[in-house]
Amino acid sequence: MGLARTLLRIGVALCIASAARADDYVGQETCVGCHGAVSHAYASTVHGRALTAAAATTALMERGCESCHGPGRAHAMSGGRVQQAEGWLTFREDTPEAETLKSQACLQCHQGSTQRFWHGSAHESRGLSCSSCHTVMQPVSQRHLLSRPTEAEVCSQCHHLAGAQSRRTSHMPTRTTGGGPGAEGFMTCASCHNAHGSVAESLIDAHTINDSCTSCHAEKRGPFLWEHAPVSESCLGCHVAHGSIKPNLLRISAPRLCQTCHVQVLHVSEARAPGSRFVAGQSCMSCHSQVHGSNHPSGAFLTR
Ligand code: HEC
Ligand code: HEC
Ligand code: HEC
Ligand code: HEC
Ligand code: HEC
Ligand code: HEC
Ligand code: HEC
Ligand code: HEC
Ligand code: HEC
Ligand code: HEC
Range with the poorest average pLDDT among 28-37, 97-106, 127-136, 169-178: 169-178
pLDDT tens for each residue of 263-293: 766 676 565 555 666 656 657 888 899 999 9
pLDDT at 2: 45
Each residue of 50-101: pLDDT tens digit? 999 899 999 999 999 999 999 999 999 999 888 888 899 999 988 888 999 9
Ligand of minimum distance to the alpha carbon of 259 = 10
If you measure from the C-alpha of residue 200 to the centroid of ligand 7, how many angstroms do you get, rounded to a whole number? Answer: 19
CB 50 near ligand 3, within 6 Å: yes
How far is 135 from 148, CA to CA, in rounded Å? 8
- Assign residue 80 a region: left if phi > 0, alpha if psi is -120 to 50, beta otherwise? left
**Which ligand is closest to the CA of 276, given by its number?**
10
Q: Are 285 and 247 in contact (CB under 8 A)?
A: no
Please tell me if the CB atom of residue 137 comes closer than 6 angstroms to any atom of ligand 5.
no
Q: Phi then psi for 170, rounded to 5 degrees?
A: -105, 120
The reported pLDDT for the residue numbered 18 is 42
pLDDT above 90 for 119: yes
pLDDT value for 24: 92
Q: From its phi and psi, is residue 67 left (phi > 0), alpha (psi between -120 and 50) or beta? A: alpha
| Residue nearest (by alpha carbon) to ligand 1 atom 6 | 65
CA of 291 relative to ligand 8 center, distance in Å: 7
Q: What is the pTM of this model?
A: 0.92
Nearest ligand, measured from the Cα of 176: 6
Decide: 237 in ligand 8 pocket, CB within 6 A. yes
First and final CA of the chain: distance in angstroms? 85
Point out the ligand nearest to the CA of residue 278: 10
**Model pLDDT for residues 234-254, shown as the tens digit of each residue:** 999 999 999 999 999 999 988
- Cα Rg, the chain, nearest whole Å: 28
- Ligand 8 within 6 A of 231 CB? yes
- Identify which has the larger pLDDT, 112 or 72: 72
- Find the mean pLDDT for residues 38-54: 95
Query: How far is residue 55 CA from its own chain's centroid?
Result: 29
**Bridge partners (DSSP) listed for residue 170:** 244
Write the burial class of residue 51 (CB in 10 Å: 0-12 exposed, 13-18 middle, 19+ buried).
Answer: buried
Residue 43 has pLDDT above 90, yes or no: yes
Are 124 and 196 in contact by the 8 Å Cβ rule? The answer is: no
Gap between the Cα atoms of 229 and 231, Å rounded: 6
Q: How far apart are CA 262 and CA 278, in angstroms?
A: 16
Ordered by start, the domain boundaries in the chain are 26-90, 222-286
37, with CB counted inside 10 A (0-12, 13-18, 19+), is exposed
Mutate to test the pocket of ligand 2, among 30, 34, 66 (most ligand atoms within 8 A of CB): 34
- Model confidence pLDDT, tens digit, residues 186-197: 788 999 999 999
Give yes or no for residue 284 CB within 6 A of ligand 8: no
What span, in angstroms and rounded, lies between the C-alpha atoms of 254 and 241? 18
State residue 109's pLDDT score.
Answer: 94
Residue nearest to ligand 3 atom 6, measured at CA: 106
